[in-house]
Amino acid sequence: MAEHDIIVIGASSGGVAALQKVVAELPSDLSAAVLIVLHMDPRSPGLLAGILEHAGRLKCAMAVDGEPIPFGEVRVARPDHHIMVAPDRLVVTQGPKENRSRPSIDILFRSASREFGGRVIGVVLTGNLDDGTAGLWSIKRAGGIAVVQDPKDAEYPDMPTNALHGVEVDHCVPLDGMGALLAKLVEVPAMSEKIPPDEARDVPGVVYVCPDCNGPLREVKIGNEKLVRFQCLVGHAFSMMTLLEGHAEAREAALWTAVVSLEHEAMFADRAAQHAITQNDAEAAAALNAEAVKARAQAQVVRGLLQVNPTGTVADRRR
């Protein structure tokens, strides 16, 4: 019977320090491949692999498209690239974002559960929002093991907390000792039978708008009634929380666009009024000055809306 020889780990805010602690505890003779997604700025120089190699005893590198699955080593997702698992190799791609992230934790987790079933150990660490929850559920359904950092131990507890709410987790532990736990779990015999993934079921009703491409967004459920997902035709996918965040950012961008448009309208009305005066058209100049005043007043109203900052909103919780 096979071991649990695929470990997939997802982290976001606070993740560098957390990953260092986990990797530091992994033994040099670990037989499993360790694949890591950390949410990061797409312009990041990609230093995580070097940081983790310095922290532990395993070889660490950025994932390369098409390379064999690196058993006994660590691979990290490249900035602005998804990492996925094929039957005998890694796949690195710049496909559509999921949960407004590229790389996406859910994409890695789902691909691992699809290809390796019960041989997978999924780990969710510190981070905001809920990337990783749906993917961890897929790992559990396929017979794999679900491990979550104790939210009390996490610098940013959202991701671990949401995973605990959505998935029947096998182990909820602090960072201290997590790497040693993973090393022990690798040696536990794994279920060899692969369970086919659940088909996504459309939920009839309102068609929403994708905040990334403005295309139609359908609501889908995949097995677990707790987990609601939204996906557009392009392939952008969201949880409820990340969809709310996306629309909040889109709303802010639209309001700032309105401010710019109104300010430009006022400036042009001023210029047109000056031209009307040179043409001895006092009536037109007065009307244009009134339009400028109106546009500036409207811009001030919109600015006021943007300056309202209620605490505790999803959009305020950045990665």
pLDDT digit string, tens, across residues 176-227: 999 999 999 999 999 766 666 655 556 666 678 999 999 999 888 776 567 8
- 104 is a catalytic site residue: no
Peptide bond into 103 cis (omega under 30): yes
User: Could you tell me the pLDDT band of residue 229, with boundaries at 50, 70 and 90?
Assistant: confident
Q: Is 63 exposed, middle or buried (0-12, 13-18, 19+ CB in 10 A)?
A: buried
H helix or E strand, kind and range, residue 238: strand 237-239
Q: What pLDDT does 162 receive?
A: 95
The DSSP output letter for 252 is H
Q: What percent of the chain has pLDDT over 90?
A: 81
Catalytic residue among 4, 39, 81, 236: 39
Average pLDDT of the residues in 161-185? 97
Tens of pLDDT along 10-42? 999 999 999 999 999 999 999 999 999 999 999
The DSSP output letter for 77 is P
Q: What pLDDT does 221 receive?
A: 77
Q: What pLDDT does 166 receive?
A: 92
- Whole-number Cα distances in Å, 16 to 52, 235, 250, 287, 319: 8, 28, 29, 60, 13
Q: Are strands 74-76 and 60-62 parallel, antiparallel or unpaired?
A: parallel
Task: Pull the structure tokens for residue 31.
Answer: 């037989």
Q: What pLDDT does 278 receive?
A: 94
The CATH fold assigned to 6-186 is: Rossmann fold (3.40.50)
Q: Is 254 exposed, middle or buried (0-12, 13-18, 19+ CB in 10 A)?
A: exposed
Catalytic residue among 5, 12, 111, 239: 12
Q: What pLDDT does 163 receive?
A: 96
Q: What pLDDT does 308 receive?
A: 78
- Closest by alpha carbon to 127, among 164, 160, 103? 160
DSSP 141-204: HTT-EEEEE-GGG-SS-HHHHHHHHHS--SEEE-STTHHHHHHHHHTS----SPPPPPPPEE--
- 101 is a catalytic site residue: no
User: Could you tell me the pLDDT band of residue 309, with boundaries at 50, 70 and 90?
Assistant: low
CA quadruple 146, 150, 151, 156: dihedral positive or negative? negative
Tens of pLDDT along 235-258? 999 998 899 999 999 899 999 999
Q: How far apart are CA 18 and CA 3, in angstroms?
A: 25
Tens of pLDDT along 43-77? 999 999 999 999 999 999 999 999 999 999 999 99
Q: What pLDDT does 315 receive?
A: 46
Residue 169: pLDDT over 70: yes
H helix or E strand, kind and range, residue 60: strand 60-62
What phi and psi, each to the nearest 5 degrees, are found at residue 220?
-135, 155
Residue 280: pLDDT over 80: yes
Q: How far apart are CA 112 and CA 151, in angstroms?
A: 24
CA quadruple 103, 45, 49, 159: dihedral positive or negative? negative
Residue 318: pLDDT over 90: no
H helix or E strand, kind and range, residue 259: helix 240-278
Catalytic residue among 130, 131, 158, 212: 131
- 12 is a catalytic site residue: yes
Average pLDDT of the residues in 146-152? 98
Q: Domain-by-domain residue ranges, the chain?
A: 6-186, 201-240, 248-316
What phi and psi, each to the nearest 5 degrees, are found at residue 124?
-110, 125
Residue 319: pLDDT over 50: no
